[in-house]
Structure 1
Amino acid sequence: MTILKYPIIPITIIAAIGIALGSNNSIQPITASAIMAVAFAALVMAYRFSLKELLPKPYFTISVGIAALVLGIWVASLHYAPNHNAHYTRMIDDSEKPTIKGYISERIKPNNFSEKYYLKVQAVNGQYATGKILVTASKKKFPELLNAGDIIVIYDSPQPITKAGNPYQFDYAAYMERQNIFHQIKLKSNHIKAGQLKNTDYYIECFRNDLISSFNQHNYSPKVMNVIKALLLGQRQDMDKDINQDYIDAGVIHILAISGLHIAILFYIINLILKPLTRFRKKGRLIQLLLILAFLWSFAIVAGLSASVVRAVVMFSFVSIGLYFNRNANTFNSIAVSMLVLLLAKPSFLFDVGFQLSYAAVFSIVWLQPLYRKIKISKYKVVNYFADVVVISLVAQLGVLPLTLYYFGQFPALFPIANIVAIPAVTVVLVMGIVVVIINYIYSNLALLVGKVLAFLIECMNGFIGWIASFKGLVIKDISFTLPLTASLYGIIIAAVLWGFQKKYKRTVALLCAIILFQSIYIVTKWQRTNSNEFVVFNNWANSLIAYKQSGITYFYSNDSIALENWNLKAYAKGNFADSVTVLPLQHTFWYKQKRILVVDSLKIYETGINPDIVVLRQSTGVNLQRLIETTKPKVIVADATNYQGSINRWKATCNKNKIPFHATAEKGSYILK
């Protein structure tokens, strides 16, 4: 493979594997540092011995690989926040509520009921501390938003972030742990504001808010203004849900998040504007490089230094430096170096979906360039430009297809058509938006005129995307996909590309083997999932939901009229590769693997002579649990999430008294009987 001639690429890949290993094992920094020192010493010795050899020996290559792997583990250990002595988790216990002082660093995407923020901890009970905590505030109780730099003093115990309560559900707690955030606190009457810390976060937010307020003179609708904030400033917290879903269904959601696409557009434009400087030879090219870097990083700061912006700016910074040194052929090196630098600075980027998608897309575009650059369908540059947009979009989608299927489980069939319009449109909108921002402060009348054109373009773009998304039948959703399938699909893509470069016999065989491997993994996975047996009481808040899975058939039991729209049901069906879903009315009794299961609801009706092994309590039934236990003698009591917390607490006490296992799905997640 041609790209493997660049040594930084395998080093980056091995270091990433090390980060993944280090993140899954809590290795102490001292231990990791000792291992790193040994690996580095071995590398130096191997290098010195290799200088004395006429022909290169494999031990130096092996030592480089080991050093890269250990480097990844070491970096992951250093960045794992609880490993530091000053981390707040080392200063709190369950015996008493601590006093936590910190400041708001960032507002993140809210839900329907609460605003969400990151709180950087400064002190616990007056003692210096570090770390981050997720803070939520009710929109009703606290309608006024908190700002970056607001100092908050909280008298409350941090609670663990709720883990996934049902099978195959997105585990938000695990995701936050990857970001070094382990607890959350709900703001109530448990906090006070204690001033303002005017740090970098504060000034960046003030600057960003000033830019946003400069658009007030245009009186844009919320939908237009939110698109502007997303495209120019990376602020998607207030994006309209319907518009956001339209962009997802059309396959162009990437244009709403500042990423490599936007930075590439800006990079191309600023390069074009500064091109005359190259006439002044080396000094002119140096000035061009410095101005490009200054512009890109200024834009990143304005956009709030979000993960997607930083990684894109770092990537194109290295590309710019490579172009300055006339290293056009080493684009792979520039991409790999930027990736390695980002991972060493913040290992958690490795688990960021946007990070993975960005590099997969960019890598595929660069790698497949020799193939698609041959496509010229017309002698007119404009026609070829639109053709290039379509082809590059297809290539990028090919590169991210396995990850898209794995993370999102859907595939928009009309994404090429959407990208033909969306990418040129977003280019114009981005440039015009920057122009409007500038002239907002210079010439108000001209700003209003250009602003009307900008609003018209955004409305047209939203309308077109909405029209594409309206073809719901062409958006393939709820696709069942696993990590082994993702890896094997990448194997097919890599083998197909290599075959495209050189149609040799060995590469043909490799491609066929990759296809057979993918098919085999799919067949085995589907057979295992569909033929496994289990009985599941879901942690479902609104209505009780039970799954009965046996002999390759899955039945869902619920009295909910719209149970088919239930997210927990959909996730379970997708995770089990279910071809169809059948929902039946909830029963009072079940029989699973010679175990009787009794369901007791608000009617409090049950048969006393069936002697159930398991009793499921729902709808805060007023049944006398002590009497039920005495008459039916169950082995396990399960309370689903439709019960009030007060009822659950009483039942738990009763079960403890009678020494019967008690499982509350609201606390422990769904109850699964294999």
Structure 2
Amino acid sequence: MMKLINIPFLVITLSTITGILISEYILISLKLSLLLVAICIGILYCIKIYTKRSLKKGSLFYCWTIISFSFFGIALSNIHKPTNYNHHYSNIIPDLSSQKHEIYFYVREQLRSSNYYHRYIVNIRSVDGKSASGHLLLKIIRTKENPVLIPGTSYIVYTSFSDIPFAKNPSQFDYSIYLQNKYIYHQISASYPQLIKSKEKFNLIHNYTYHLREHLIKKLEVHHFSPTQLSLIKALFLGQKQNIATSLLTDYRRAGALHILALSGLHIGILLLLLQNLLTPIHRFGKKGKYISVSLTIIFLWFFAILTGVSPSILRATVMFSFIALGTTLATKASIYNAIIISIFVILCYHPMFIYDVGFQLSYAAVLSIVLIKPRLDSLLQINGIFYRKLRDLITVPIAAQIGILPISLFYFHEFPLLFLLTNLLVIPFLGSTLLIGFIAIILVSINLLPDSIAALLGILLDGMNGIISWISSHDFAMISSIPFSGISVILTLLTIFTLFRITYKNKKTSYMFFFSSLIVLICNFNLEQRIRLNTNRLIIYHTIKNSVIGIHNGNKLVIYSSNPITSAIQKQLYSSYKTQYNIHQTTFEQLKNIYQYDDQLIMVIDSSMIYTTKKTIPDVLLLTNSPKINLERVIQTLAPKLIVADGSNYRSMVQLWQNTCIKKQVPFYNTNTKGAFILER
């Protein structure tokens, strides 16, 4: 297998990835990183000349290549980091949170709306009349009258910058880090009447494709598609999945088919196969015919990507399959492997932070698994006949893909769809036919030639696909949820999978030794992590609004104390991910108490009743909840607490007064609103 791969380019790509990952932990300035790259490339060139003259193929060249492109990865991260440039808004305004500013921006992308806000990603053009750049999260207060902000349109708003809230409770999804990987560091909020629309337009391609999509949607609405059918058409063919019902998303997730609704590598891959089959007759003209065919294929792939708004997932998939289309044109296994490696390098050069994107990781894990593992599975099911080979592919392709993405999927989502194979067997043929009919329908409706028969057929196919998904997801055993899986487990599992399939390529003693060694290490890691989870003991003061919640975690049990009942939605938000991470099986609920003895530490709670003991006990932690109207100076004199904690149930104005008092009295103060949940470990 390794003989088929261009080893130098594999080394370059892996070294670049290493550099990008290192750049998150080692801070090197942009100028210094560029200087180091220049020096390393110069030394690398000298080594190359020396090795040629001495006729040596030593490891020095490869070692220095790794060092050089690791620095290249660091420099790449610095080049793309917008805060490294003087014109970024954060370098123009010294104190972002101090006052309101006049911000001139244009809309880049519409996000899925929350219960209270319509959300957009916007690009800054100027701040307070000064030319500036950077991305922001814009939140528009949600009302029925709010029109959609069109990509490319520009606005002026007078508002203040604010930090994007970080995850304030353990194991919660951190949306601020997610946005930082997209180079978005702050947010602005406004109501629609506050926006002053400008005549100037930017990002004209996105603006044009938005109007084209809206034009196509209006024409499709004439053909009386149901709301569910129309939402699926928008998602599958126009990249707009904001209007899909939550219940339908849940069904697809439970059936292991959520990737069908998000335009990604699956759709681009199917489109590539359809185009290659459609353009096969051109191959009769020899090499020129093949080059014409692949050129038309790539042009159509990019046209589809632009039509759907060039989302990051579509961009990655289109780049990847463009290289794969070139590789398959050369008709060698080596070219396909190298095309995948080159596409990774190109995508990371365009946007280094894609390395942290879940979609990027899953897409390449699936493609590499299919390319590497599927041939070995096919060799186990050697059958004749075109129909039986196609049926075999429907089995081996999803199995191969699932093997590759399973560890990553478990790490991020902690669930496994048991019926994924049945879903693929029944839905993928539907999806291929649906995409083919759908593309034909989109082309015909754009020229006002869509017959009702094709529209009706597309609706039947979509309903049929939804029916299958609904039936599969209705089974209670369709999904295994709450599976704890760590980052180390991902690496060790992937290593074990690699060494297992290495045996099929090299059936030697060393291959078996590597496999069993990695398997033993993986099992030991699982046992060690389980032992650590069982020995975990901590007290958590959660950050939540309009309630006070304390959790005591002991092994696989969690006791929740709260001042008010906790709704299921808040429970999911507060500690659902935490329970999964620590494999907690038993959760009990009790009323919040005034005194807790945790290990050798005493925790006292003062709530709005303002009742507390005046006995000669010195609390290690004093928790203030529900905005008690107390004289904190007197409380400090009476109780002499070692630490005061204010949770999210308090008014912010009172918390600020308490903090000033603690500074005056030299008592440590902990605010869960600014620091997150307070945790005591045993």
TM-score by length of 1: 0.95
Match of 2:486 in 1: 482
Gaps spanning 5+ residues in structure 1: where?
A: none
Residue 472 of structure 1 aligns to which amino acid in structure 2? Answer: D
Deviation by residue 1:33-80 (Cα, 9 ceiling, x = unmatched): 100101110111111112113341211112222222121111111001
Correspondence 1:180 to 2:183:
yes
Counterparts of residues 485-634 of structure 1 (less than 5 Å): 485-541=489-545, 543-550=547-554, 554-558=558-562, 559-560=564-565, 562=567, 565-609=571-615, 610-634=617-641
Distance in 1 (CA, whole Å) between partners of 2:343 and 2:116 is 39
Distance in 2 (CA, whole Å) between partners of 1:461 and 1:257 is 15
* Contact persistence 1:4–1:10 (CA under 8 A): no
3-state SS of paired residue (2:298): helix
Distance in 2 (CA, whole Å) between partners of 1:512 and 1:583 is 45
Correspondence 1:229 to 2:234:
yes
Deviation by residue 1:472-508 (Cα, 9 ceiling, x = unmatched): 3441111111111110111111111112334433222
Q: Offset of 1:387 from its aligned partner?
A: 2.8
Distance in 1 (CA, whole Å) between partners of 2:313 and 2:59 is 38
Residue 440 of structure 1 aligns to which amino acid in structure 2? Answer: V
Q: Offset of 1:464 from its aligned partner?
A: 1.7
Does the C-alpha gap of structure 1 residues 178 and 443 become closer, same or farther in structure 2, counting only changes over 3 Å? closer
Aligned residue pairs total 673
1:438 to 438, 443, 461: 443
Match of 1:160 in 2: 163
Match of 1:149 in 2: 152
* Contact persistence 1:3–1:332 (CA under 8 A): no
Distance in 1 (CA, whole Å) between partners of 2:655 and 2:648 is 9
Q: Offset of 1:150 from its aligned partner?
A: 2.0
Correspondence 1:450 to 2:454:
yes
Correspondence 1:366 to 2:367:
no
Distance in 1 (CA, whole Å) between partners of 2:572 and 2:274 is 46
Q: Offset of 1:250 from its aligned partner?
A: 1.1
Residue 178 of structure 1 aligns to which amino acid in structure 2? Answer: N
Does the C-alpha gap of structure 1 residues 459 and 645 become closer, same or farther in structure 2, counting only changes over 3 Å? farther
Q: Offset of 1:353 from its aligned partner?
A: 0.6
1:122 to 102, 121, 125: 125
Match of 1:249 in 2: 254
Q: Offset of 1:370 from its aligned partner?
A: 2.5
Q: Offset of 1:525 from its aligned partner?
A: 2.4
Deviation by residue 1:219-276 (Cα, 9 ceiling, x = unmatched): 3232221111111122122221111121111111111111111111111111111111
Does the C-alpha gap of structure 1 residues 545 and 358 become closer, same or farther in structure 2, counting only changes over 3 Å? same
Residue 126 of structure 1 aligns to which amino acid in structure 2? Answer: G
Match of 1:271 in 2: 276
Match of 2:679 in 1: 672
Distance in 2 (CA, whole Å) between partners of 1:132 and 1:638 is 35
Distance in 2 (CA, whole Å) between partners of 1:136 and 1:593 is 44
Residue 575 of structure 2 aligns to which amino acid in structure 1? Answer: L
* Contact persistence 1:376–1:384 (CA under 8 A): no
Q: Offset of 1:360 from its aligned partner?
A: 0.5
Distance in 1 (CA, whole Å) between partners of 2:594 and 2:144 is 41
Does the C-alpha gap of structure 1 residues 500 and 541 become closer, same or farther in structure 2, counting only changes over 3 Å? farther
Correspondence 1:395 to 2:396:
no
* Contact persistence 2:166–2:174 (CA under 8 A): yes
Distance in 2 (CA, whole Å) between partners of 1:327 and 1:448 is 44
Residue 538 of structure 2 aligns to which amino acid in structure 1? Answer: E
Gaps spanning 5+ residues in structure 2: where?
A: none
Match of 1:62 in 2: 63
* Contact persistence 1:377–1:387 (CA under 8 A): no
Distance in 2 (CA, whole Å) between partners of 1:629 and 1:191 is 48
Deviation by residue 1:277-313 (Cα, 9 ceiling, x = unmatched): 1111232222212211111110111011111111111
Correspondence 1:106 to 2:109:
yes
Q: Offset of 1:650 from its aligned partner?
A: 4.0
Does the C-alpha gap of structure 1 residues 149 and 31 become closer, same or farther in structure 2, counting only changes over 3 Å? same
1:339 to 327, 344, 355: 344
Distance in 2 (CA, whole Å) between partners of 1:427 and 1:551 is 48
**CA RMSD across the alignment:** 2.2
Distance in 2 (CA, whole Å) between partners of 1:500 and 1:191 is 62
Residue 89 of structure 1 aligns to which amino acid in structure 2? Answer: S
TM-score by length of 2: 0.94
Distance in 2 (CA, whole Å) between partners of 1:661 and 1:122 is 43
Distance in 2 (CA, whole Å) between partners of 1:515 and 1:325 is 38
Q: Offset of 1:141 from its aligned partner?
A: 7.5
Correspondence 1:296 to 2:297:
no
Match of 1:32 in 2: 33
Q: Offset of 1:184 from its aligned partner?
A: 0.5
Residue 264 of structure 2 aligns to which amino acid in structure 1? Answer: S
Match of 1:135 in 2: 138
* Contact persistence 1:226–1:238 (CA under 8 A): yes
* Contact persistence 1:314–1:338 (CA under 8 A): yes
